[in-house]
Amino acid sequence: GVVYHHHPWYSVVAAAVAAAAAAAEESQLPLSWRLQSIQRFGLRPVPPAWASAVAGGTEEAWKKYYKYRCQTEGIKEEEGGDDNMDKEEQGDDDDDDYDWGDEDYGSKELMEEWKKKLGYMKYEAKDCGWQWTPKFGYLTWDDNEIRSAEYYCHVWSPFAIPHAIALEHRYHRRPRYSTMEFYTVWSYRLVDFEEEDDDDDDDDDEAKKYTELCSNCFEDEAMRASVIQTSNLNMKTVHKLRRFLYGSVNAESKKTTCSDLGFLLLLFGSMGTVDLGEDPKHGWLGYDWSPDEELRKKLFDDKVPEDGDLEEGDPPESIDNYYPSGCSWLRHRVLEITDNLGPIFKHYRHPTIKDAPGYRSPDDEESYDSEG
């Protein structure tokens, strides 16, 4: 399950950092970029269990980190105060009014919904120290549903490690009478400030640095068959991301921060896909699976709760009112690689061409041709 923990020594080290800052101020010496970053962004010390294996970062790396993060979060470098507050508290009050058809229509509401949904998870994960900076690329709408969107985010190491993960989620869905344009892609980039080049501002070069995590699309807009790619969404990638962000993937690091499932829920949530089932405003992700009638009866006979929770769920009493949960292909993949499928989702069936809305069997084709 999703597990988060807290260690009381954080407050002890925070006091030590404050004392060091006070000493520097008293001596009138400038704070190091590392100390400025720790103090300004509320970074924690790397936990003792694996601190010796983590490089502290050069002053040049911390300088790049500090300036990059200030720019990304839209704050002035010389400003004081708690700049690590959630940006929910720093909204722009001048963009309340929108015109239908404007590409920015609803962006404020969408951001609020995104932050609110992830906020529930962040509350449960508050001891994990999840620091994220979300923003939109572009948004276009079909009435009150999203046609196209770009979700961007930076997730910052909660520890004194000059690392961040840049995230990108691109979405497009445009239905027509008998066809549909559709794709949804999640990608990431590791931002190591020991290696970042201040002069690298080329958008094409920046895009090439991203690695696709997973995706789904319709290659045939009339057939509308899901073409799902999840080869990079595996535990090797999870460990790579966790090691980069936290400095370790050992058992103690997971105990200190969060489980692998919790990490992926926060990671995808930071790209707008908070529940692994859809994006905000009914952003559909493609193929959804649900138990067929035969499986429904079997699960009922086995007294499996509708939500699949054998520990806390209520066993079914009447099959007439029993509808066990289904799941998206994305949710299944995340639960599969983290070994959390449970009694319902272990029966998941991958989509085939026959599941496509535009699929016609040979008999259907023959009938269609004769009628034509």
The structural domains of the chain, with segments of one domain joined by +, span 9-279, 291-325+341-355
Greater model confidence, 368 or 333: 333
pLDDT at 120: 79
Percent with pLDDT over 90 in the chain? 62
Of 11-15, 27-31, 74-78, 345-349, the poorest mean pLDDT is in 11-15
pLDDT at 360: 85
Q: Is 290 exposed, middle or buried (0-12, 13-18, 19+ CB in 10 A)?
A: middle
Residue 54, pLDDT above cutoff 80: yes
Give the pair of three-digit tokens for residue 158.
């909660």
Three-state DSSP at 214 gives strand
Segment 60-73, tens digit of pLDDT: 999 999 999 999 99
3-state per-residue secondary structure call for 8-71:
CHHHHHHHHHHHHHHHHHHHCCCCCHHHHHHHHHCCECCCCCCHHHCCCCCHHHHHHHHHHHHH
Among residues 320, 238, 330, which one has the least CA distance to residue 285?
330
- 63-94 in b/e form (b: 16+ CB < 10 A) is bbbbebbbebbebeeeeeeebbeebeeeeeee
Greater model confidence, 7 or 98: 7
Residue 310, pLDDT above cutoff 70: yes
Q: pLDDT band at 334, cuts 50/70/90?
A: very high
pLDDT at 123: 64
pLDDT at 203: 61
Q: pLDDT band at 85, cuts 50/70/90?
A: very low
